[in-house]
Structure 1
Amino acid sequence: MIQPFKSLALFLFLVSSSASFAFTKAIDSIQLIKPSGPYSVGTVTYEWTDTTRTVKLNEGIIEKRRLIAQIWYPSQNNTNGTLAPYSAVSKDYLEVMTNAFQRAGFNNSISTSHIILISPGRGTERYMYTTIAEELVSHGYTVVAVDMPKIGYTIYGDGYIIKPSITFKPPRGMMAGPYEKVDAFFEKPTKMGFEDLRFVLSKLKELNTDDPDNRFTNKLNLKAIGIFGHSLGGRIAGEFANRTPAVKAYAAMEGIPPRKIRYKGMLDIPVMMLCSSGTWPYAKDNYFSLIDHRKKPVYMVELPRFNHNSVTDNPYIFPDIFKFEIDAVEALKTTREILLGYFNGMLKEDNTKLDALQENESIKLQVYP
């Protein structure tokens, strides 16, 4: 999805296909945008095996389902620490410099930290949301992004890759409707992704109870969780928010909850929906299926000049490939501002930044109380 949406056939946000590209040309060294908050950022990555479920590999081999979860968290200030690689296993991003320190200690000045889960789009790796994660962490949050086998590209520490399943890619013409078929098409990956997130949450609870490395023990606030989903990840996040009482804040970029949740008004928390202006004309009826049946306020944000993938790091890292109308730095800073304002309001009861979004002329925010 390199070009802006021009037709209903390209209305893939409800489909969930954030495209992933293989880059073979080396890039110059590039520094990710600096976070704006007062806290330093640490990061650590886990491979966790769900022994109750399996995944079929390309060779027909069946293994237990292994997930990759990267955690960014407020860390101790350590200028002598080692900066974490953007991706330790993908050669396409070797020259990208992050702002996070690898395996740093948790910041002692923070008693507990709210968790924000990131549910990536179809075909998108977890680290594509590093700029968003680092920003939220710099303001005291702990962010966890998850690679889900068969939904996104999953690259393990030994270099083995599980590619997105072709069966989850919508056939040509499906997005033209009727949308009941689209909802039905995504039931399987949505259920799969929900189970992945539920398993990851169980592992976070274990870390909070007794982290073998004593990094996260008693540091994670598991009573009020936020979640941000992109594309198919937004649909999965909606399912997770509906079925997980601890979730108190749910935001999504061009992805909406499953049909039953929308039409029965099952979400009992305020939600934030983001949509690019190019997609809005084709998407608004589906958004209003959520808005019209809401129990709590819906923050509907229209993003002029944005593309479906403007919330990821790819346009910033590869500007010659991702030629979108909006400048990549502006898009990422705007996305950070929106999400920080929303999560502060929902999880910390601080509406200062959320209220300020109403005065931001670069976006169109409509609140449906």
Structure 2
Amino acid sequence: MRRWLRYLLVLALAVVLAAGGYVAYVAIRSAQPVTLPAPTGPYPVGRATVEWTDSARVDPLAPQPGTPRRLSAWLWYPAAPGPSPTPAAYAPDAWAGLHLSWPVGLAETGFDHVHAHAFDDAPVAEGRFPIAVLEPGMGFAAPQYTALAESLASNGYLVVGVTPTYSANLTVLGGAPVSTTEAGNPKAFDGADEHAGQAQAAGDRLIDVWAADDRFAAVEADAGRFAGHVDATKVVYLGHSFGGAAALEACRTDQRCVGAADLDGTQYGPVVHTGLTKPMLLVASENSCITGTCQPTTASDRSSLDTARTLVAASSGPTWCYQLNGAEHFNFSDYGAYYIAAPVRSQLALGAIDGDDALSITNAYLAAFVRQVTSGCPEPLLAGRATPYPQVVVQHTP
């Protein structure tokens, strides 16, 4: 009996030591620097943050009735070469609250250690640049798509990252954090299969607000310090998840729109049945149904599949559909670039693909699409079914 007690004591001690060692390892890793994938274009990148109030709209998502719609926007843009300005902090001040909740956030790269490539308030480069409005997924915020935004800006676009107030888990207005409301982020979006029909109805209601945010941001961007530097006749709407659905709907209702891209977002709203007359890019994670091609296993999958097939069939503009194998839903955000401890990472929608590779491939297809629709010149990456990336499956091209 005493021998068994000794064995149990030794085993318990080994478990405690192993757990302590792993905690120490996680603490060291989360404090190590992480650099986001480098922008691919010829321009250095500037970054500015602004707040806008749309006085023409009463915010239906706000907790106080009669409140005008207020938005925080991050602007990434082609910067003029010159003396090196101040590097932009990844998530400054109250934006640091975007971290995963404590204590889980301790297993994630500290935002002070995430190095981006933009510079704070750098001078704008000479020239006129098309607008690319970028909207995050449900619960996410614009800063969490820095890798995509910086790469597009370096290629000669004013990228307007809009954080949807009361739908994002956190936005910052007037220096203070603002969280979600039930109207802005309905419980029907919790991912439960039995809520598929409720999620569709809630999404159809909410999509008008997000699409209006996109259009308002495109108008506001052509003002202030960017006046004279913006080609406002060429607007591209881009987004991830619900932001991708909003991008399609915003494009449908904006005559200036020259194309829209949806990254792994189930589609909602009138655009599903009317389709787009403008070019459309749909990029899916490995098991996603948002391009109209998948093997559905749940009611939610079947609903997304039917929706996507309806959209593609109704659209008269050229459509490109791709699948990124090894990717899951969060791989289209900066989450793929962070270090996240294995027990936490396994609970997030991050696939087996290298996180930097997923972002770099997504950047390549976004840049090619935006160049083609704004310039009218064919891009080799979008031609036919050939692809230089083994992780990419070409599902449909014009």
TM range (shorter): 0.7 to 0.9
Do 1:297 and 1:367's aligned partners in 2 also have CA atoms closer than 8 Å?
Answer: no
Where does 1:192-341 land on structure 2 (aligned, <5 Å)? 192-205=209-222, 207=223, 211=224, 215-265=225-275, 267-280=276-289, 281=295, 282=301, 283-320=304-341, 321-323=344-346, 324-341=351-368
Aligned equivalent of 2:108? none
Q: 1:189 aligns with which of 194, 206, 216?
A: 206
Which protein has the larger Cα radius of gyration, Structure 1 or Structure 2? 2
Instruction: Give 3-state SS (helix, strand or coil) of 1:255's partner.
Output: coil
1:367 Cα offset (Å): 2.6
Report which of the two has the higher share of helix: 2
Report the Cα distance in structure 2 between the residues aligned to 1:26 and 1:62, rounded to whole angstroms.
43
The amino acid of 1:166's aligned partner reads: E
1:176 Cα offset (Å): 5.2
Instruction: Give 3-state SS (helix, strand or coil) of 2:81's partner.
Output: coil
Aligned equivalent of 1:35? 39
Residues 64 and 261 of structure 1, relative CA distance in 2, 3 Å threshold: closer
- Of stretches 221-230 and 154-163 in structure 1, the one that deviates more from structure 2 is 154-163
1:79 Cα offset (Å): 4.3
User: Does 1:101 pair with 2:130?
Assistant: no
Report the Cα distance in structure 2 between the residues aligned to 1:97 and 1:277, rounded to whole angstroms.
28
User: Does 1:143 pair with 2:159?
Assistant: yes
Do 1:57 and 1:162's aligned partners in 2 also have CA atoms closer than 8 Å?
Answer: no
CA deviation map 1:68-114 (0-9, x unaligned): 11111110123421011111123342222211111111112xx2111
Structure 1: stretches of 5+ with no match in the other structure:
1-24
Do 2:133 and 2:217's aligned partners in 1 also have CA atoms closer than 8 Å?
Answer: no
Residues 154 and 274 of structure 1, relative CA distance in 2, 3 Å threshold: same
Report the Cα distance in structure 2 between the residues aligned to 1:217 and 1:357, rounded to whole angstroms.
40
1:62 Cα offset (Å): 6.6
Report the Cα distance in structure 2 between the residues aligned to 1:299 and 1:55, rounded to whole angstroms.
34
Structure 2: stretches of 5+ with no match in the other structure:
1-28, 100-110, 290-294, 296-300
CA RMSD in angstroms comes to: 2.6
Equivalent residue pairs, number:
334
Report the Cα distance in structure 2 between the residues aligned to 1:314 and 1:173, rounded to whole angstroms.
19
Do 2:218 and 2:235's aligned partners in 1 also have CA atoms closer than 8 Å?
Answer: no
Do 2:331 and 2:359's aligned partners in 1 also have CA atoms closer than 8 Å?
Answer: yes
Instruction: Give 3-state SS (helix, strand or coil) of 1:292's partner.
Output: helix
TM-score by length of 1: 0.82
1:335 Cα offset (Å): 0.7
The amino acid of 2:326's aligned partner reads: R
For CA contacts below 8 A with separation 6 or more, give which structure has more relative contact order: 1
Do 1:344 and 1:353's aligned partners in 2 also have CA atoms closer than 8 Å?
Answer: no
Do 1:37 and 1:139's aligned partners in 2 also have CA atoms closer than 8 Å?
Answer: yes
Report which of the two has the higher share of strand: 1
1:27 Cα offset (Å): 3.4
